Chain A
């Protein structure tokens, strides 16, 4: 029974430290600006009304190991458990008929580097790496230059 006040005191201390840890971080967040110029705690900026660029010739790569960009619209393309629209043209069995670029042989490896006879399922979601282009401008100015060997 004599221990209870001490225990309560300890609990109160822990709680106070806990709250203290939370409150300053919330206050600090208001001072942090995101790269877009908006406060991070604010609501997201309005989504730009970007247009997907129409078909164009293959786009040159900017740096070594860059996944090639998609030079056409992909609106409404189905990539599901049943069907992969990308592979309908870019698969090795299809690229001659469709006139598309064929999938790189690097995509025929499993995660341990073993060769497979077709595209590895871990490469199934093409648009995780390959992206289509919109008419959006860069968010901030930059001096990025194409890799030397690719100029």
Chain B
């Protein structure tokens, strides 16, 4: 081992500054290339290159305020679904390899299949957003800077009681950019659906009269 190491060090020393510069350049190219490829998979264009995304969730998203609005400030797929910080981003990207498997196996390749899986998929994403305190919402909507005096009557009240009860954005704001899975509202015949305490997690204090 020591012989090997020594010979390697000697070789590097022998090659001199040229090798060091070369290694540094290789490192820059490798890291740059890795980052470039990673960012390539972090664009709306990449996301909707799969028809599963384009035909279902993207079409729903096109009707919402995060796609099109008065001032043209947008939130595209990765803004909400991929963390911005490096470590959480890597974890999400590694977990996303499961989605590649789903793509190959055609788990959701028809609207019918997608509809039957939506309940599970939506709850996965809600769980993720709940766990990181809706970080992707708060990257833009920083509630510490909310001006309640210009918020509407309802939002003003609900935001303050919600935050006081330690709630996070996704606790109330579900289905703001996509259609919801079946939600149990106890109207008509029962079905496989999101339970009321998942839709509205308990701990929310009653409205002051």
Contacts and interface: CB of A to CB of B under 8 A. Distances in A.
Contacts of B63: 76
Interface stretch (B25-33, B78-86, B87-95, B173-181): B173-181
A54 B154 CA distance: 11
B4 interface: no
Interface residues of A, number: 24
Nearest to A92: B186
B185 A87 contact: yes
Interface in A46-85: 54-56, 72, 76, 78, 80-84
A80 to B, nearest CB: 7
A130 to B, nearest CB: 16
B72 interface: no
A99 B207 contact: yes
B187 interface: yes
Interface in B173-205: 175, 179-183, 185-188, 193, 196, 199-200, 204
A126 to B, nearest CB: 11
Main secondary structure, interface of A, reads loop
A80 B63 CA distance: 14
A124 B187 CA distance: 8
Contact of A91 (B153, B185, B206): B185
B157 interface: yes
B158 A98 contact: yes
A98 B186 CA distance: 18
Given A94-B200, A97-B200, A83 B182 contact: yes
B65 interface: yes
A146 interface: no
Nearest to B207: A99
Given A98-B158, A118-B186, A93 B196 contact: yes
A37 interface: no
A96 interface: yes
A55 B150 CA distance: 12
A63 B186 CA distance: 31
B152 interface: yes
B182 to A, nearest CB: 5
Contacts of A78: 175, 179-180
Given A55-B152, A76-B64, A83 B207 contact: no
A82 B188 contact: no
Given A72-B154, A96-B206, A97-B206, A121 B188 contact: yes
Contact of B187 (A76, A80, A99, A119): A119
Given A83-B183, A99-B157, 5 more contacts: A82-B180, A84-B185, A87-B187, A97-B207, A124-B188
The 5 A-B residue pairs with the shortest CB-CB distance in the complex, in nearest-first order: A121-B188, A99-B207, A83-B180, A55-B153, A55-B152
Interface of B: 63-65, 152-154, 157-158, 175, 179-183, 185-188, 193, 196, 199-200, 204, 206-207
7 contacts: A76-B63, A82-B181, A91-B186, A97-B207, A98-B207, A99-B157, A124-B188
Interface of A: 54-56, 72, 76, 78, 80-84, 87-88, 91, 93-94, 96-99, 118-119, 121, 124
